[in-house]
């Protein structure tokens, strides 16, 4: 179902690790829709992941970058403009990582060095990406910057731990930077709040299988898949959503507006 809605557009896609990654699906769909883009990930993830396969499939080049390093980001953004032949029309920030979650630290006994790493990788990196593109004047007018988030920013999901704080900051950065980028350059900035999805990052959360099952039963449409999320990202990169900015967009099958469901009560 390709309609060339991103034809002629250039972008950067962060965070494709393997075929389960949401960013992987976005890259596949963006290529189908006629976009050209660079792929990037942290150097260590390059060695573990399968990004080369994706690059070959999408006819893309890979520029490694640790999203916490401004120097790496400058190299990535300038390199992307050079390789793609002009300024950018879209950026996907699809990055999340908490050492506290990885090491199963309880929320009431967090390691604060880890906490700062969580925030740096999962939230501050979004600001660093946009500050870099702004300083390099890398985004075209009406271009679209997106990050992926989760509803634990608004409601407590105990095992999501310090990622909840990181996501709250990420969403706030989208609003604050969205104001400045919109006023200065007509660049729009949004977050998409996605259903729980089976990926490397998602599966790191304790009790993930129960969690995904709960969300599915609590969503009138069921959980949104990574492919569904990719389609929404493509819509947000397209000119069809030109006036949407500074929003946290719920992409969750109705979960966020639902109090209780028949399925949850076992009456379905
Ligand atoms: N899977 C879910 O249930 C779910 C739900 C809502 C939102 N999200 C969000 O979607 C985004 C993508 O996650 P995913 O589920 O596709 O998992 P994923 O593990 O496939 O992707 C996370 C990516 O972050 C990258 N990353 C980590 N540290 C980095 C760094 N320092 N620099 C650059 N990249 C770095 C990883 O290498 C990986 O590619 C994340 O922001 C995640 O929080 C996921």
Residues in contact with ligand 1 by the CB-under-6-Å rule are 14-15, 17, 21-23, 41-42, 45, 66-68, 94-97, 121, 148-150, 194, 196-197, 199-202
Average pLDDT score over residue span 198-224? 90
For position 46, what pLDDT does the model report?
Answer: 84
pLDDT tens digits, one per residue of 11-57: 999 999 999 999 999 999 999 999 999 999 999 888 877 999 999 99
Find the 95 Cα to ligand 1 centroid distance in Å. Answer: 4
CATH number of 10-257: 3.40.50.720
For position 155, what pLDDT does the model report?
Answer: 97
Find the 39 Cα to ligand 1 centroid distance in Å. Answer: 14
pLDDT tens digits, one per residue of 62-116: 999 999 999 999 999 999 999 999 999 999 999 999 999 999 999 999 999 999 9
Contact (Cβ atoms closer than 8 angstroms) between residue 255 and residue 157: no
Quote the CA–CA distance of 199 and 104 in Å, as a whole number.
18
For position 268, what pLDDT does the model report?
Answer: 81
> Rounded to whole angstroms, what are the CA distances from 214 to 108, 149, 265?
24, 18, 11
Strands annotated E in 77-234: 88-93, 139-149, 188-194
Contact (Cβ atoms closer than 8 angstroms) between residue 38 and residue 63: yes
Angle, vertex CA 22, rays to CA 21 and CA 24, nearest 5? 65
For position 96, what pLDDT does the model report?
Answer: 98
For position 136, what pLDDT does the model report?
Answer: 98
Find the 166 Cα to ligand 1 centroid distance in Å. Answer: 12
Average pLDDT score over residue span 204-213? 85
- Of 3-17, 105-119, 189-203, the poorest mean pLDDT is in 189-203
Contact (Cβ atoms closer than 8 angstroms) between residue 129 and residue 73: yes
Q: 206 falls in which pLDDT band (50, 70, 90)?
A: confident
pLDDT tens digits, one per residue of 122-144: 999 999 999 999 999 999 999 99
Residues near 59 by Cβ (< 8 Å), separated by ≥ 6? 31, 36
**Which token pair is 166?**
């990181």
For position 94, what pLDDT does the model report?
Answer: 98
Closest ligand 1 atom to residue 48 Cα is: 37
pTM of structure: 0.98
Q: Is 166 exposed, middle or buried (0-12, 13-18, 19+ CB in 10 A)?
A: buried
For position 201, what pLDDT does the model report?
Answer: 83
**Which token pair is 113?**
């060095």
Dihedral sign (CA 240, 57, 230, 219):
positive
Residue 266 half-sphere exposure, CB side, CA atoms within 13 Å? 0
Find the 109 Cα to ligand 1 centroid distance in Å. Answer: 24
């Amino acid at each position: 179902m390709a309609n060339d809605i991103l034809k002629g557009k250039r972008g950067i896609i962060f965070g494709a690790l393997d075929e389960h990654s949401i960013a992987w699906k976005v890259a596949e769909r963006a290529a189908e829709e006629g976009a050209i883009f660079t792929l990037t990930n942290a150097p260590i993830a390059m060695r573990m992941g399968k990004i080369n396969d994706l690059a070959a499939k999408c006819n893309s080049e890979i520029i490694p970058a640790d999203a916490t390093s401004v120097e790496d980001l400058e190299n990535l953004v300038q390199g992307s403009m050079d390789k793609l032949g002009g300024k950018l029309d879209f950026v996907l920030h699809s990055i999340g990582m908490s050492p506290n979650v990885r090491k199963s630290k309880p929320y009431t006994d967090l390691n604060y060095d880890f906490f700062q790493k969580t925030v740096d990788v999962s939230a501050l990196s979004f600001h660093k990406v946009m500050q870099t593109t702004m300083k390099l004047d890398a985004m075209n007018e009406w271009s679209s910057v997106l990050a992926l988030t989760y509803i634990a920013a608004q409601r407590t999901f105990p095992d999501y731990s310090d990622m909840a704080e990181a996501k709250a900051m990420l969403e706030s950065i989208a609003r604050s930077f969205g104001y400045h980028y919109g006023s200065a350059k007509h660049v729009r900035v949004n977050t998409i709040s996605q259903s729980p999805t089976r990926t490397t990052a998602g599966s790191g959360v304790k009790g993930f299988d129960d969690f995904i099952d709960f969300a599915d039963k609590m969503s009138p449409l069921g959980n949104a898949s990574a492919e569904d999320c990719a389609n929404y990202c493509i819509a947000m990169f397209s000119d069809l959503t030109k006036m949407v900015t500074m929003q946290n967009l719920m992409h969750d099958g109705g979960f966020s507006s639902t109090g209780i469901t028949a399925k949850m009560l076992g009456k379905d």
